[in-house]
A and B are shown apart, each in its own frame.
Chain A
Amino acid sequence: MDFTFTDDQLAFRDSVGSMLENEVTTASIRERWTGDSGENGDMLNMLNEMGMNSLLVPESCGGLGMDLVDFVLLADACGKAALPESIVEDAVVAGGLLSDLLASGQHTDQVQELLGGVAAGDIRVGCAHIINPYSNFAHRKDWMLLANGNDVHLVPKSDLKFTALKSVDPSRRLQKVDWAPSRKTRVAEGEVGAGLQRATLNRGALAAAAQLLGLAQAMVQQAVDYSATREQFGKAIGTNQAVKHLMADCAVQIEFAKPVVYRAAYTVGVAPQRADWAVSHAKTAAGSAAELSARNATQVHGAMGYTWECDLHIWVKRAWALAKEWGDAGFHKNRIHEWLLQPNALLGPEFTFGKRYIDHSDSAAA
């Protein structure tokens, strides 16, 4: 039993985090808002150089073969920086589905080649899921993984038609993707396809949850900093208990969402059959922490928090969007609710961890 990250994992998080802190300035984010693509090419290169594209790709395809426990802190760092580029979704969701396809022996050659291209930063693959009506940055991908019923399709950009939609978050570039499924593009079907889509949903929700954690912490930090400098009645507003308690409430939710998100990352990797509940808990907890942090951080900023000029809304709007993407609170709470209603759902501390958690069997010898 060891619920800690290794020194290497923490060091990697620190190096990605400090790169993002230096390079993803709010000015550069605002520049992206007025650009055509919404992306920053230099940033894509830097992320690739740091290994963000190759981290989760299997070693057999030229990647680093690391897992979601390695990646979850990086996703948190991307959220903290309000990084507009969709690297987390690309690596975790699209990369994860490609790796699943490879593992299940579906269209091995094509998938292997794509994964190799992804790891090298030469090919960009995105992934849509029916739980989301639109797909962020789909127009910037060379290939899209798309669902049609139980079937999964791998479709080149040339066969896709995009209609852009404007998000409340100007950093997001939502696309409605129109396409025609064909036998040529189908890479999985039936039960296999359904299983892949279920795993995709869990990876997407986990990726969103980890970023929401980072967003929440960044918003609280900005509000805390502001409250120390903004003075009223001759003293910093942060000296007032009413202001302190707004921030403390966020801190409590964030602290108790963290281990939930970390367990979800672990579970998706080692016990995907248990991942639905772990992931739904993570998405609900991180979403709720981020939404509260968005509201309270805005409140602490006063009228400034309601302006376009104040940078806070870069984070606030991302939190609003991600809290509902990959399943909103209602969807995820319902998954847990349905499970709690099952008479054979084993609840209680001896099923929180360990082999019985993974096997979900009540044998003490397990």
Chain B
Amino acid sequence: MDLLYTPSQTQFREEVRAWLAAHVPAKKLASFDTAEGFEQHRQWEKTLAAGNWGMVTWPKEYGGRACDLIEWLIFEEEYYRAGAPLRVNQNGIFLLGPTLMEYGTEAQKERFISAMASGEEIWAQAWSEPNAGSDMAAIRCRADRDGDDYVINGQKIWSTRAVFADYAFGLFRTDPESSRHHGLSFILVPLDSPGVTVRPIEQLNGLPGFAEIFFDDVRVSDFNLLGGENQGWQIAMSTAGFERGLMLRSPARFQQASRRLVELYRKRRNDILDLSIEDSVVRCYMDAEAYALSTYQTASRLVAGGHIGAESSCNKIFWSELDIRIHETALSLLGARAEIEPETAEDHAELGTWLDGFLFSQSGPIYAGTNEIQRNIIAERMLGMPRK
């Protein structure tokens, strides 16, 4: 155990910090759930890609820097420190990208990864259906083989980023006789295909962060099948593993939020009567720190050639509940002013983005597998409790 950064890791941090200082837009971008903000964020992805900072862990031929996970954590720490824009292509770069590397053919990698890394193509996910939410194996949306094509019919819902995205990836039933997790395939669908209708769904903040996607005889080439036909479930589980695991919510995000929370607390504490506030602030700080320590521990193990264990299913519960607690505590510190949507510069200075973050935090225990499902997974796969 050696918890010091190596000179090259420290140098990498400085390099990241310097590049971000020179390139992060001075003015906060509009939300990527607006048409204007989406394009701004796409431009930012292009800027990142031009500097080879789009996805530092990727191989160099795909625009990456072949960094290890410790360097990735350092990059993320500097990224959040700099207040750089959120990643509009996170479905692509964090979820689909690693899956493509593992299961894609050379031609598919060639076709999709560079365009993803460069921000040319932004990805949405298309997992859930009206009757297949937590029970994803209940998927009914069909992709019927027709020569070299699939013909897709059905509906997806809660598709994050689908309103403005270029492509969606998801599971479709390719064997009409199959049931449950058999007979599903992992298919990449251009959202401008004839027969695709995207109906935006407004989220809690009033913006269309996700959508319903209707497929009406949508033709997709079988080039877009990832992995084997009817092998989609296994591939999707690996995607879900990445999502729950390290990549989706890097600890720096919560450490920066808890640092801002402590600053807010120092300012506001003498006006607060709630007796639990001290305890909440201390817990938020400790838990953000614990999440970082846990991530470094896992990253160290993986860098040393180990595997991500079943205990990684604890991650999602921990960060999503932490995120809610951080924002609840911040709103408690803001008191009755917490409900104000900041418009003036004064409001922005005083209220920051806490309300926005609070609304988003409400989704954490729900998406990427509800926390109830996560608890079942922990009980059954990590602790070995009986299923039936």
Interface residue ranges, A against B (CB under 8 Å) = 1-6, 69, 220, 224, 227-228, 235-236, 238-239, 241, 243-245, 247-249, 251-252, 255-260, 262-263, 266, 270, 281, 284-285, 333, 336-337, 340-341, 343, 345, 347-350, 352-355, 357-358, 364
Contacts and interface: CB of A to CB of B under 8 A. Distances in A.
B375 A1 contact: no
Given A259-B296, A336-B282, A245 B10 contact: no
Interface string B1-36: 111111001100110010000000000000000000
A340 B263 CA distance: 9
B167 to A, nearest CB: 32
Contacts of A249: 375
B287 A256 contact: yes
B-side interface size class: 35 or more
Given A244-B376, A248-B378, A2 B77 contact: no
B6 A228 contact: no
A3 B300 contact: yes
Nearest to A335: B282
11 contacts: A1-B9, A2-B304, A3-B299, A239-B385, A247-B385, A252-B317, A262-B1, A266-B1, A285-B286, A352-B255, A364-B10
Contacts of A251: 311, 314, 378-379, 382-383
Interface in B361-388: 372, 374-376, 378-380, 382-388
A262 B2 CA distance: 11
Most chain B C-beta atoms within 10 Å of own C-beta, residue among A224, A266, A354: A354
Given A256-B291, A259-B293, A349 B376 contact: no
Contacts, number: 181
Interface of B is mostly: helix
Contact of B3 (A241, A255, A266, A281): A266
B251 interface: yes
A285 B290 contact: yes
A340 B282 contact: yes
Most chain A C-beta atoms within 10 Å of own C-beta, residue among B285, B291, B386: B386
B262 A4 contact: no
Most chain B C-beta atoms within 10 Å of own C-beta, residue among A1, A259, A262, A284: A1
Given A252-B314, A285-B286, A244 B379 contact: yes
Contact of A349 (B1, B77, B378, B386): B77
